[in-house]
Structure 1
């Protein structure tokens, strides 16, 4: 499943992030690349010792946790601290699949990467190229989103960032371990949740909507790993 979340960040949060990133210290993005990814990754990344990275991570993580679309789609059990990257001067990230297991900086606790998320800080008219291209069982999808928006997709998807030929593309990327490991099951739960909300808006709280909510929670109870 691939999901576009518009307006994840408030205008105030976006402005603060952009200001912090403008004064940030960047390093070679290969510092977090696995063996296969290192062959196709050409970008810069916010250094872990940057004083402002904690505040940036706080803003992005809190925005995700309060967003009902993200929660419904990802059903988060654990969200790894976000990273931040910068593409310019032909920077790109070729076709790759994210590592199945990752560790937070300084931690030995393994986290399964079920769901990948990208949050944009640059508007599309600020750079050329830089499309996020995702290939999954539903086809090939291209995303070039407004600043403050997010895209959520299965970490098992083949994906890439096209070369940025002009300007700079700044973004955050992160991984979530879901309570529901299987992408198809998460997709079914998300669709059921969205349709329940639409029915409630149309007909209010009825015996049928209450029953559907019950079915949703029975499936979540059956599939969730807590």
Structure 2
């Protein structure tokens, strides 16, 4: 069993179409929750804009794939509540964090889908911290990286261009069972 799964998922054309569609909507700054405090915008923790993507067919496609690739055997009865599209511009980043704990204690699996071609930006690597060395996720446009939500991960600073990704979390009925 691997700690992470990172494989091709969507075509470049599908990724481009998603970026084109959500890029026309107004994004908003991402709220950050630190140490159980109320969520706030904290630019020292994350700099990215978030766009909602309410498309049941996309949610269903992701959910079906994740359920068939749940190598960890997690109970995932809580479904996929939403998919968010994150937009990082020059200077954008995400400090190391987990997606699980506190008010999010039912998150079991996290995913990130690379929507941008890697040649369209510099930096912006998704880094998963597991073991003695960090692991860089596949940056190929259309790749999906799936990992347990307790995994410490970060997005390195984007130093040029724009990085787009689709992210979300699959829930269980209870905390890790």
TM score, norm. by length of structure 1: 0.63
User: Which position in structure 1 is the counterpart of 2:61?
Assistant: 63
After TM superposition, give the deviation of residue 158 of structure 1 in Å. 1.2
Q: What is the rounded CA distance, in whole Å, between the counterparts of 1:118 and 1:27 in structure 2?
A: 19
Listed one character per residue, the Cα deviations across residues 11-65 of structure 1 (whole Å, up to 9, x for unaligned) are 55334212202312111123xx21259441111111x5xxxx323xx34322223
CA distance in structure 2 between the aligned counterparts of 1:2 and 1:149, rounded to whole angstroms = 13
Q: Structure with the greater relative contact order (CA < 8 A, sep ≥ 6): 1 or 2?
A: 2
Indicate yes or no: 2:147 matched with 1:148: no
Q: 1:92 to 1:59 in 2, by over 3 A?
A: farther
Counterpart of 1:96 in structure 2 is 97
SS for the counterpart of 1:153 is strand
Specify whether residues 83 and 68 from structure 1 end up closer, same or farther in structure 2 by C-alpha distance, changes over 3 A only. closer
Instruction: Determine the C-alpha separation between the residues in 2 that align with 1:101 and 1:60.
Output: 28
RMSD: 2.7
Tell me how far 1:165 sits from its aligned partner: 0.8
Instruction: Could you tell me which runs of 5 or more consecutive residues in structure 2 were left unpaired when the two chains were aligned.
Output: none
Query: Does the residue aligned with 1:175 lie in a helix, a strand or coil?
Result: strand
Q: Which runs of 5+ in 1 are unaligned?
A: 104-110, 183-224
Q: Number of paired residues?
A: 166
- For the pair shown, the structure with the greater C-alpha radius of gyration is 1
Distance 1:161 1:3 in 2: 17
Q: Which has the higher helix share?
A: 1
